[in-house]
Amino acid sequence: MLNAIIRFSLRFRGVIYALALITAGYGLYSLTRAKLDVFPEFAPPMSIVQAEAPGLTSEQVETLVTQPVENALGGMVGLQSMRSKSMQGLSAITLVFDEHANVMQIRQLVSERVSALAASLPAGVLPPKLLPLTTTTSVVRTIGLTSQKHSLLELYDIAQWTIRPQLLSVPGVADAIVFGGQTRQLQIQVDPGKLLRYGLTMQDVLAAARVSTGVRGAGFIENDNQRIAINADGQVTTPDKLAAIVLRWSNGAAVRLGDVATVTWAPAPAVGAASIMGQPGVMLVLESQYGTNTLAVTKGIEKTLSSLQPVLEKQGVDVNADVFRPANFIDASVSHLRMALIVGAVLVIVVLFLFLLNARTAVISAVAIPLSLLVAIIVLTSLGVSLNTMTLGGLAIALGEVVDDSIIDVENIYRRLRENRSLPKPLPAFRVVLRASLEVRSAVVFATFIVMLIFLPVLTLSGVAGKLFAPLGVAYILAVLASLCVALTLTPAMALALLVRGPLPEHEPRMIARLKARYVALLLKVEQRVKTVVIVVTLTCVAALVSVPFMSGNFIPELREGHYIVHMGLAPGTSLAESMRIGTQVSHALMQVPGVRLVAQRAGRANEVVDPVGVQLSEFEVDLKPMSASAQSWALYRIQQALARFPGLTTSVNTFLVERIDETISGVTAPVVVNVFGDNLDVIDRKAQEIAHVLGSIRGAASVRVESPPGIPELDVRLKLDQLNRWGFRPVEVLDAIQSAYQGATVSQIYQGSRTYDVVAVLSPRERATLNGVGALMLRNPDGLAVPLHDLASIRQISGRYQITRDGGRRMQTVSVGLGSRPVSDFVREAKARVNHEINMPPGTYAVFAGESEARAQSQHDLLVYGAMSLIGIALLLFLALRNSRGVLLVLVNLPFALVGGVLGVVLAGANLSLGSMVGFVTLFGISLRNSIMLISHYEHLVHVDKLPWNADTAVRGAAERLVPILMTALVTALALLPLAVTSGAAGNEIEGPMAIVILGGLITSTALNLIVLPTLALRYGRFARDALTEPGPAAA
């Protein structure tokens, strides 16, 4: 088959050239249309269901809302985990499905079950809703609005009714969430004293308000030639008109709504607030739809904002469009990786010229680089894969590999053509090129497939690691496969066209000849001290192998996004106003940090409920000015110093993408997570506090937080059934009155153009501001007798909790730890030992570690298991290629050689064995095996084809003949990776940089030991006698 492909390519060179040009053109076209992003979609299919339960405490929400929803959604096919949060007025359930599940089908099934559930929930609970489907990173832009002219009520109206609809119309925007400001309501603020004076109840006010305004469809009138629609509008759209509504007539005089209440525009009870640069304002968080192009969506948003900004400026609204712009990191990452690719490619081409000393051979080899990468891009874009830091990183790592096949082919063709010209009767050039190509093809094909096979562990990684690194592996394999196709087709065709007619030197270049002479001398010296060399190399390999398990590391290195997220937690029960007051102080402190461009705070949650958090929790967007990676690290240190000046605060700092990864892994935005499970909330709270104390005493813990601490103040109102019966009240009537008085009752809605506002009846702010006012709330029974609430119920202040979390139907308390510079795996190893030794768990209560360390351990296990399987497959392929078990073992000896350099690379880079470094070892092993295969297969060729005896002279000759190709392939691979390794801290190179360092270190040692030690081992232990094989293995030049 290979013979037929190469023969066709040589005979129909014009067809091959045309196909190459068409492929290159279409590749460039695909490149311009490719989606660009930071990471691939790394989260498994998820659905989030939320239900609002106004006025209910967290315990009530758990019992009345969360558990029924969990019961309805549990048992779905493919459901892997179900996490829930129950907090005051809100239930949020996150469903995580198998990574191979269909996202759209899942949403359909969840939607059906949620729709059927709505009717069975308690009165007052809003129907559960399924949140919009967004990308893994979700946030595509955060915008800040402030104004010296407008109130927060007016600013919210502008954001909600003017800006938000425009942004939602941008293709790719899934949602626009408004944080902060004040939601406008038309409030009927009832005075209980006036109600008593007029002998009215809250129910009277509610009944009158409900029928005071409305819009109805009245149908139409149709006569002989016309149909006339009836527009029946009875809206009351102003406070004065609503206040004039008559409640009842008394002694011929009207008692109006305004007589017992103040009717006014007022803000709804706030669940969150926002500030930009310390000034109160509104923030809009824009989320992108699943599968969209982040950069394209960003451009659409910017176009819409540019059209809105002049109008907003005239209205006195200051727009800060870049509170957070993830596209900045995408641009920087793609730019750095693009530069690494270009610089690497230039270095590779320079090496080709220096070694080959022939412009034509260098050009033929270099053509493989762009063509192979473009073919990979065509396939990736056809599969719908975005060009992100992982896929581009895979192409960058493959950069040296894609030219190897062509180098080996061109070098052999060039040498055979030179030898052919020295013959008395030279053979036809067509036959020489064909034979020279076929000589190396079998071994190279096997080597290429082995390189792809060794990536099997990367492709089979599970969880987030698999989602992140599988695209890198796919891109790498596609590029290597494409390079093999180029070497089989275009390289021979171009060689026949360019090398046959030009001049060919009779001898090797002087530089190459000198290099080979010194190499042969070195080999002879090594042969004389073979025992010493073997012992030293063996001890070094053993030391490297033993050191690997003791290397600590993080799942994902620190990303240089130029943007940090600061989390601030206050004591449970802290008011929103206090959170914003302290947050303003923190904002001013952060703004003093050199390099900080902007600081924005949001406390609590949005009205449209996306992230269910209490008002005691704040999140700060800290955006940096453009700066280097080292300057970002220094800025992070200064930010942490600034936060340390605020005692009593629980703070943590992270980058956006790392937070999303952590949240996907464990549901918490922290690298180390301990979940305490149990049925008794008090017990798991106590054990969580004990674990937090232990973790806080371990070196490296920068911040320790119990995610849902108890201690929020609650006013417990328990109705007395005997007193209700005595005074003639029914329980629900009393509960409704309490809810209306303090939570407020939405009695109607009014419409002003496209805007909709709630009409709410509630106690006046003065009455709602005191605890004693609850007991003094007067209720009127059917006989008209007024009774205070404290006569009908026991009222006491207790300590409650703002949130109850559950996982898999079990209650859970979570302890999260933010780390300093200590590696996650090292910290968790000590933490597990301390917790197991110092914490005694009662029956039914247990702790489970989660987070980055567990994900890293799982990935490490996957790599080892599938790596062993891959190694077996490689051994089988090698045996098929070599038909010699000793030859297989000699090839595999190169793996520990490569390990030595990889370990040295990790140590020199800071001894942090991240997941990227682990994948780097996998890549390294595949690359290093190629050169061993080429050397051992060449020995086979010398013995079986050239009929040479297997002795020291043959071993030295074979090594010398393979010296230049091995050095060239190793050097071009190393130089292709050099830009990534040197800029490993730059944006976009944080994951691939450590991989490149491992590969570079391993290439140095594996190439050196492959050229120096392997020939000696082959001479001593190899078996290449002509009668050793029943059938010759594939030849190599």
Note the pLDDT of residue 263.
93
| Of residues 289 and 530, more confidently modeled | 289
| Of residues 728 and 438, more confidently modeled | 728
Residues 6+ apart with CB under 8 A from 1: none
| Among 728, 741, 721, 717, residue whose Cα is nearest residue 780 | 728
Other CB atoms within 10 A of residue 437 CB? 28
Q: Which residues, listed in sequence order, are joined to residue 760 by a DSSP beta bridge?
A: 187, 746
The pLDDT tens digits of the residues spanning 742-781 come to 888 888 888 888 889 999 999 988 888 888 888 888 888 8
What CATH fold (topology level) applies to the domain 2-33+330-555+857-1021? Multidrug efflux transporter AcrB transmembrane fold (1.20.1640)
Residue 51 has pLDDT above 50, yes or no: yes
Lowest mean pLDDT among 185-194, 275-284, 787-796, 920-929: 920-929
Give the pLDDT band of residue 1032 (cuts 50, 70, 90): very low
Residue given tokens 């119920």 in the structure block: 793
Across 148-252, where does the E strand assignment appear?
A: 173-180, 184-190, 215-222, 227-233, 246-250
Q: Rounded mean pLDDT of the chain?
A: 86
- Segment 966-981 mean pLDDT: 84
Note the pLDDT of residue 1028.
41
Residue 1027 has pLDDT above 50, yes or no: no
The distance from CA 847 to its chain's CA centroid, rounded to whole angstroms, is 26
Q: What token pair was written down for 881?
A: 């290629």
Note the pLDDT of residue 507.
66
Note the pLDDT of residue 502.
64
The pLDDT tens digits of the residues spanning 544-595 come to 888 877 777 777 778 888 999 999 988 888 899 999 999 999 999 999 999 9
Note the pLDDT of residue 252.
77
Note the pLDDT of residue 505.
63
* 801 contacts 708 by C-beta, under 8 angstroms: yes
The domain spans of the chain are: 2-33+330-555+857-1021, 185-216+229-267+713-801, 563-712+803-850
Note the pLDDT of residue 849.
92
Lowest mean pLDDT among 139-148, 618-627, 875-884: 875-884
| Of residues 151 and 852, more confidently modeled | 151
Give the pLDDT band of residue 856 (cuts 50, 70, 90): confident
Residue 1029 has pLDDT above 50, yes or no: no
Q: What token pair was written down for 169?
A: 């119309």
The pLDDT tens digits of the residues spanning 443-454 come to 678 777 887 888
In degrees and rounded to multiples of 5, residue 653 shows phi and psi of -125, 135
Note the pLDDT of residue 119.
80
The pLDDT tens digits of the residues spanning 643-701 come to 999 988 888 898 888 888 888 888 888 889 999 999 999 999 999 999 999 999 999 88
- Considering the segment(s) 185-216+229-267+713-801 as one domain, its CATH architecture is 2-Layer Sandwich (3.30)
Residues 6+ apart with CB under 8 A from 721: 731
3-state helix, strand, coil split of the chain in percent (to 5) is 55, 20, 25
Residue 193 has pLDDT above 60, yes or no: yes
In degrees and rounded to multiples of 5, residue 396 shows phi and psi of -65, -40
* 467 contacts 42 by C-beta, under 8 angstroms: yes
- Segment 381-408 mean pLDDT: 83
The pLDDT tens digits of the residues spanning 455-467 come to 888 888 888 888 8
Q: Report the SS3 class of residue 761.
A: strand
| Of residues 904 and 279, more confidently modeled | 279
Give the pLDDT band of residue 853 (cuts 50, 70, 90): confident
Note the pLDDT of residue 1030.
36
Give the pLDDT band of residue 1031 (cuts 50, 70, 90): very low
State the DSSP code for 789: G
Q: Choose from 303-307, 1000-1004, 1024-1028 the range with maximum mean pLDDT.
A: 303-307
Q: What token pair was written down for 484?
A: 């093999």
Q: What token pair was written down for 252?
A: 């011929």
- Segment 31-59 mean pLDDT: 86
Give the pLDDT band of residue 366 (cuts 50, 70, 90): confident
The pLDDT tens digits of the residues spanning 229-254 come to 888 877 888 899 999 998 888 777 88
The pLDDT tens digits of the residues spanning 948-957 come to 888 888 888 8
Bridge-based pairing of strands 710-719 and 793-801 is antiparallel
Residue 886 has pLDDT above 60, yes or no: yes
Q: Return the percentage of the chain with pLDDT > 90, whole number.
A: 27
| Of residues 805 and 771, more confidently modeled | 805
Lowest mean pLDDT among 88-92, 812-816, 880-884, 964-968: 880-884
Other CB atoms within 10 A of residue 56 CB? 24
The pLDDT tens digits of the residues spanning 320-335 come to 999 999 988 888 888 8
- Segment 395-423 mean pLDDT: 79
C-alpha span between 622 and 626 (Å, rounded):
13
| Among 340, 380, 453, residue whose Cα is nearest residue 922 | 453
- Segment 165-190 mean pLDDT: 92
* 651 contacts 643 by C-beta, under 8 angstroms: yes
| Among 388, 255, 279, 369, residue whose Cα is nearest residue 327 | 388
Q: What token pair was written down for 6?
A: 């190469």
| Of residues 680 and 915, more confidently modeled | 680
| Among 52, 46, 63, residue whose Cα is nearest residue 806 | 63
Identity of the amino acid at 688 = A
Residue 186 has pLDDT above 90, yes or no: yes
Note the pLDDT of residue 609.
62
Note the pLDDT of residue 21.
94
| Among 756, 737, 740, residue whose Cα is nearest residue 748 | 756
Q: What token pair was written down for 1023?
A: 């078996």
Query: Domain spanning 563-712+803-850: which CATH class is it, in words?
Result: alpha beta
